[in-house]
Amino acid sequence: MGKLPNKILFILGVFLAAAFSLAPFLWFVSAAFKDQTQITAIPPEWLPSFSVEAFSSTVTQHGIFHYLWNSVIVAGGATLVTIILGALAGYALARLSRGWAQITLMGILACAMFPQIAIVGPVWRFLKFMGWLNTYQGLILPYVALTLPLAIWILAVFFREMPEELESAALVDGCTRLGSLVRVIIPLSAPGLFTAAILTFIYAWNEFFLALLIMTDPARQTMPVGIALFQGEHTIPWGEIAAASLITTAPLIFMVLLFQRRIVTGLSAGAIKG
Amino acid sequence: MIRKDQHLYLALLLPAIIVLLLFIAAPIINSFFLSFHRIIIGLPQLKTPFVALDNYLQLLKDPIARHSFFITIIFVALTTFFELLIGLFLALLIHHRFPGRGALRACVLIPWAIPTVVSAQMWRYLFNDAYGVINYMIFGANTNSYIPWLALPTTALSSIIVADIWKTSSFAALLILAGLQVIPEELYQAAKVDGAIVWQRFRHITWPLIRPALLIALLFRTIDAFRVFDLAFVMTQGGPADATNVLQLYGYKKMFVEGWMGYGSAVSVCIFIIVLVIAVAYVKMVGRRLLEANV
């Protein structure tokens, strides 16, 4: 970045990138703080009047907290189960002999590549057969299956880097193998577990396709389904949609701001040696 | 040394394997099976007769299916190309050390982090035909010339492509960034000493060394772009006149709206095979090397 023109170009690029990423979203969520006349105004009114009408109506008329609660249970449940199963499997793969670990990981990785449409028909029939349509476990279990491959991958890589001596020491002190996993390896792997948990949570929180098929009862629908099927009486209720979108997105933005470094390494671990 | 206890490892793997078998492997095999039968949801009295390749023959003859395939290919090609281009641009910016780098990285991650459904509603609002800000930016206050972007076949598909590019360029950027970070800084120092200008350094150092990362991003994005559903469902419901009726939406409608489970399964098997071919290419090109490097 020696010469001045280069520097100016670089700064311009940074502003362009920030505007590209943020401007459309900021404009959309500003509608949450506008009233209907402001939303449909031409020329557009850049500054919202900061009315809270849209927020109160999403809560009182559209029962947004209900959807939010379903999302919390489904995404939270899926994250918990994925991390437990992923940690067990990841540990086994990290300590298994090389050949078997590679073949198993390849198989698990392959599961993550397949399009959801290829599994939904049979999954839907299976859930119907079990009476699990419109139940939390009916959505949590497919989410666990879809998020496990990346979680196992991240955790297996993480556990590999744990020296075996730590475990040997615990075994000498009288721990069982499982005991040393739970008391020594897992606590030391908190960063890896946390990364896998964040990515799993974001996936489950945002997923729409399966949620749409499995949760047909509005009482069980998650936020993305609620937002996609948002109905107004006469016009499209942009204020309410934007308010609901902001409520759904707020926890994610919070996570991105706090844990961006982890998210970046976790995502690229799935593709390139991190 | 700790003992290699194979039984213990198998027991630890088992719960994850069972979930994956039950909800991914078995359903895929079952989809193949269902695609050879006539199954109509809501009419169980018709039973589920074996119809051999009937569903596939019908699929080949259906002009809507052919059109669906065609527009999905256009969608995949255009989104992947622009996502890699913008992703490369974003990755090069974030790779630089400068004050505010963390802030920029957080900004870039926002489109990736928000639900696709939210970004779909967002673009529906921006593309609105009466008061959308995109119309305003192009035509000003002259509302007569405003374009109903989502109601015309060509612009509807373009709108969804734009929405997807906005949403996933950051993911491509992250994959490319990981590739940039393994390039040793000394190479640039040496090039600088030799008097290479910015463009020459990019052309002769960065470009050849990030090509593997670009390839990975390309294949990841291609596979993922075939699954487009949320954007089309929310923004256009596949319309107007099937202009945005992408493959997964077509399969969904056949299976769950019209209730043709057997025929819909044939559609999903076809999508599966397309993605499988790409995935195999991916694993062949980079998978083995990654596994050896990682585990």
pLDDT above 90: residue A57: no
pLDDT above 60: residue B293: no
pLDDT at B19: 96
Distance CA A33, CA A239 (A): 7
**Is residue B125 in a domain?**
yes
Q: Does B17 touch chain A (CB under 8 A)?
A: yes
Give mean pLDDT, residues A56-85: 93
Q: Does A249 touch chain B (CB under 8 A)?
A: yes
**Is residue B19 in a domain?**
no
| pLDDT tens digits for range A185-222 | 888 888 899 999 999 999 999 999 999 999 999 999 99
Return phi, psi of residue A257, to 5°: -65, -40
Give mean pLDDT, residues A67-75: 97
- Report which of residues B92 and A265 the model is more confident about: B92
| pLDDT tens digits for range A215-226 | 999 999 999 999
pLDDT at A1: 47
User: For chains A and B, what is the number of CB pairs under 8 angstroms?
Assistant: 315
* CA angle (A120, A123, A124) in 5-degree steps: 80
CATH code assigned at B79: 1.10.3720.10
Q: Do B102 and A260 touch (CB under 8 A)?
A: yes
Distance CA A90, CA A85 (A): 8
Contact partners, residue B175, CB within 8 Å, separation at least 6:
A267, A268, A271, A272, B87, B213, B216, B217, B220
Domain limits, chain A: 68-269
pLDDT at B42: 79
Give mean pLDDT, residues B220-241: 92
pLDDT above 60: residue B102: yes
Of the given ranges (A189-193, B107-111, B120-124, B244-248), which has the lowest mean pLDDT? A189-193
Distance CA B230, CA B115 (A): 10
Q: Does B98 touch chain A (CB under 8 A)?
A: yes
pLDDT at B287: 58
Give mean pLDDT, residues B120-138: 94
pLDDT at A274: 31
Length of chain A: 274
A21, A120, A177: residue with CB nearest B8: A177
Q: Strand, helix or coil at A272? A: coil
pLDDT above 70: residue B2: no
**Is residue B157 in a domain?**
yes
Q: Which domain holds residue B82?
A: 35-294
Q: Do A13 and B89 touch (CB under 8 A)?
A: yes
In chain B, the percentage of residues whose pLDDT exceeds 70 is 95
pLDDT at B286: 66
- Report which of residues B37 and A61 the model is more confident about: B37
Mean pLDDT of chain B: 89
Return phi, psi of residue B260, to 5°: -85, 85
- Report which of residues B58 and A162 the model is more confident about: B58
Amino acid type, B179? G
In chain A, the percentage of residues whose pLDDT exceeds 90 is 53
- What architecture (CATH level 2) is domain A68-269? Orthogonal Bundle (1.10)
Interface test with A, best of B5, B8, B10, B13 (most A CBs within 10 A): B13
**Is residue B231 in a domain?**
yes
The residues with which B50 forms a beta bridge, in sequence order, are B37
**Is residue B114 in a domain?**
yes
What number is the ipTM of this complex?
0.91
Q: Does B295 touch chain A (CB under 8 A)?
A: yes
pLDDT at B123: 97
Give mean pLDDT, residues A43-61: 85
Helix axis angle for A4-30 and B63-95, nearest 10°, is 130
Q: Do B13 and A93 touch (CB under 8 A)?
A: yes
pLDDT band at B66 (very low <50, low <70, confident <90, very high): very high
Of the given ranges (B127-131, B146-150, B194-198, B281-285), which has the lowest mean pLDDT? B281-285
- How far A268 CA lies from chain B's nearest CA (Å)? 6
Distance CA B62, CA A161 (A): 53
Interface test with A, best of B69, B118, B277 (most A CBs within 10 A): B118
Q: Do A267 and B174 touch (CB under 8 A)?
A: yes
Q: Which helix (H) or strand (E) holds A105?
A: helix A98-113
- Report which of residues A6 and B252 the model is more confident about: B252
- Structural domain tally of chain B? 1
